[in-house]
Structure 1
């Protein structure tokens, strides 16, 4: 054997083995792309793999990324998005937002438009919808349809034709409810305002529109009105609710362009929705803050009827927050979570203020609707819709259970998204909060943040909170006080 032959032969055998391993690896990747993706992103051995064999980790990621890219349709191929009912499916007009490259869970995924989530008869793939809403949120034009699923107006398995029939019935029923309380309480029909000429003109215009709707009522609407005539009202509760509604509506988002377009006429729709709800739900009635949610629903859906029924669906699971017991429970859960995440900050707040986290009341009661900028407030509301709807998908399980979060006694169902945001704000501003020595300073702190918080969700590069315990409880969320 010549000198140098053995090392050369060993090198050649190693190269043959490496080539065979690479071919086997390509076959394995084709059969298990998604599982390898999860292993690389989530398994503890991924770090060791990247340290020992960095070329292998890089090769796997590049190969998976190439394989996950959608292939261009060939001749004779059929577009899977065609053939859906046009009346119920909306097309995505804007480009899809890319996920941050550094996040293992956000490697490129096949793009999903809202239209692609429907089958040929218009049934929606609910788990995929929930995933889309959580990851990037629906486009502005898609919310009119998506929210009616999120807030329980549409049954999950309904077809396009079934939803058309349901829309007609719900509109008739809503008009019937309005006409019943209007007939029972004629003095409550018109909002009474003093020295507000703009609002007075809007009231006159709105009543003209209502008269036209009443004159052109369909037989179904008249039938709904007749069937509700026997409804029993509590006159005292109705009068009380109407008084508070009339005080809150004139100052509800009056500055927004949506309500300015038709001379404040649409603000009268907010009043109509609130009075109708309070009249037929007198066990809860009207509570201050409901007007903020109705304003969001009306501006997003641009339909008084749709906004009413989405608000009704929202209140089925959020109504408890407007009771003394409900909001007390929410504050208690926030205190327990803060005590687990940041014991020092929690102890300081308890020592300085006997009321503890009562200064966070507005955040928790209104789901940050007054504290976040408009688009961010909508994102929080629709994510809460994912939590509040029945039969939540496993795609949205950001909270830990009692057993998983050692030391935090709050059950998983109470660790809602708004609670996590509340604690996130406190943790991120801990240095400032630790410098407070008087209870009123905490209240001033929350008031200064009103309308100035920015929610950095999946639309931009995710930034996790500096506290590892809190970031482990939920998705990467960053709250940045506005300048």
Structure 2
């Protein structure tokens, strides 16, 4: 089968720099037409040579200090909406933090062409799946297809205006991409099943968001093609329910089909297990372990047979509390959770432990030292967020007597939680968890004086300030 992709196919091959006042743009005037419509341009990219407005994060050549970026996001509770799109391209690995401002436009061109070749390959093998099948009962979805077709036509007209030099460069990149993906084969039955589920889930994406309203409903079709392309080239993961909501978040923030695909793919490299039964089961187990540490009574109440453990928290943990907070706060929380918040702090806590152990060893030369109680590295910050929500509503949960009441409780929380309050509570619970570990070690291992305990706890408290 001929997989050659024309150098003029699709808007994703048009590479240009475009400054954006806001990451999420709506009602963009369509170039080449007189209409206004929501347009997701795969090459819409905040210029790579514009420095991040985050102190000390980007150097003069455009390289990003990843540890400082993550620390900034955590300390400041996220970034501003105007910088979120640029930050996410680094945070989620689409652009290496070590790349320079000169290198990134070239890298972006390669990613755009590779994505187009990948998408074209499954479309050639399954031409009947290229278009979303409509039953005519969803007027908004019918309109979405119309808007999407308008956008494709406008993009094709733009493609005809490309210079000969650009056409040649794109053709070379396409040839390289074809070589990379030439030997990729698909299990067509499994892919068709994934597409069937995607076609059910995409229309269920939160269409109350401005990004998917009116003419922006065409973005649903963009989301569909990203998810199908991902499922086609990641058969070990394929597609699972909930991925549409997760990917939708990337598409809204990045406003780019290509950038969304690659950022979503990078994210899934780390978290794809969460969409498998074993991964989700392990996460629920960890939440139960953490709750037992923080509140044994509530833990005992929620893990009885009638309560079926903590499975009612499933959606929270799978989608990063997407619907429990107001939408803009949910985006902030998602980027905070993606910073490996506890990993950063735990490293500092471990260094503090080491310094205290060393001090104990010097003062107690001949006394054997016991190892301190280890901080469970599997207790990620999202688990502390979940625990903070449970403990905040402790009285209500203790009155719940069955799983139906728990589900009613979780439904009542949607869009009602205050993010800053929950973040503070989650950090407080983690601080207390670390403090207990430190006290256990100091009181049973070193037998130091009270002043030593106060000194260590003061040091620990400073990590959370």
- How far apart are 1:262 and its partner, in Å? 2.3
| Matched residue, 1:418 | 382
- How far apart are 1:411 and its partner, in Å? 2.9
- Kept after mapping to 2: 8 A contact 1:373/1:451: yes
| Matched residue, 1:37 | none
Q: Sort the Cα spacing of 1:350 and 1:400 in 2 relative to 1 into closer, same or farther, 3 A.
A: farther
Q: Sort the Cα spacing of 1:396 and 1:382 in 2 relative to 1 into closer, same or farther, 3 A.
A: farther
1:34-85 CA-to-partner distances (Å, cap 9, x unmatched) read xxxxxxxxxxxxxxxxxxxxxxxxxxxxxxxxxxxxxxxxxxxxxxxxxxxx
Deviates more, 1:201-210 or 1:337-346: 201-210
Q: TM-score, normalised by structure 2?
A: 0.70
Q: For residues 44-59 of structure 1, what are the structure 2 equivalents within 5 Å? A: none
CA distance in structure 2 between the aligned counterparts of 1:214 and 1:115, rounded to whole angstroms: 41
| Matched residue, 1:88 | 48
1:414-433 CA-to-partner distances (Å, cap 9, x unmatched) read 21121111111111111111
| Matched residue, 2:126 | 185
- Kept after mapping to 2: 8 A contact 1:169/1:220: no
1:431-483 CA-to-partner distances (Å, cap 9, x unmatched) read 1111222332112111221232221169xxx8547x9655535999xxxxxxx
Structure with the bigger RCO (C-alpha within 8 Å, sep 6+) is 2
Q: Sort the Cα spacing of 1:408 and 1:187 in 2 relative to 1 into closer, same or farther, 3 A.
A: farther
Question: Of 206, 224, 242, which residue of structure 2 is paired with 1:271?
Answer: 224
Q: Sort the Cα spacing of 1:157 and 1:354 in 2 relative to 1 into closer, same or farther, 3 A.
A: same
- How far apart are 1:210 and its partner, in Å? 3.8
Q: Where does the alignment leave 5 or more consecutive residues of structure 2 unmatched?
A: 1-45, 160-166, 355-370, 435-459
Q: Where does the alignment leave 5 or more consecutive residues of structure 1 unmatched?
A: 1-85, 93-112, 477-483
CA distance in structure 1 between the aligned counterparts of 2:350 and 2:402, rounded to whole angstroms: 34
Structure 1 vs Structure 2 CA RMSD? 3.2
Q: Sort the Cα spacing of 1:354 and 1:438 in 2 relative to 1 into closer, same or farther, 3 A.
A: closer
Q: Sort the Cα spacing of 1:255 and 1:378 in 2 relative to 1 into closer, same or farther, 3 A.
A: same
Q: Sort the Cα spacing of 1:223 and 1:251 in 2 relative to 1 into closer, same or farther, 3 A.
A: same
- How far apart are 1:211 and its partner, in Å? 5.8
CA distance in structure 1 between the aligned counterparts of 2:384 and 2:152, rounded to whole angstroms: 43
| Matched residue, 2:171 | 219
| Matched residue, 2:59 | 119
| Matched residue, 1:172 | 113
- Kept after mapping to 2: 8 A contact 1:148/1:310: yes
- Kept after mapping to 1: 8 A contact 2:320/2:382: yes
CA distance in structure 2 between the aligned counterparts of 1:358 and 1:323, rounded to whole angstroms: 14
Q: For residues 2-401 of structure 1, what are the structure 2 equivalents within 5 Å? A: 87-90=47-50, 113-114=53-54, 116-136=56-76, 137-194=78-135, 195-210=137-152, 213=155, 216=159, 218-220=170-172, 222-223=174-175, 226-227=178-179, 228-351=181-304, 353-387=306-340, 394=344
- Kept after mapping to 2: 8 A contact 1:172/1:224: no
| Matched residue, 1:56 | none
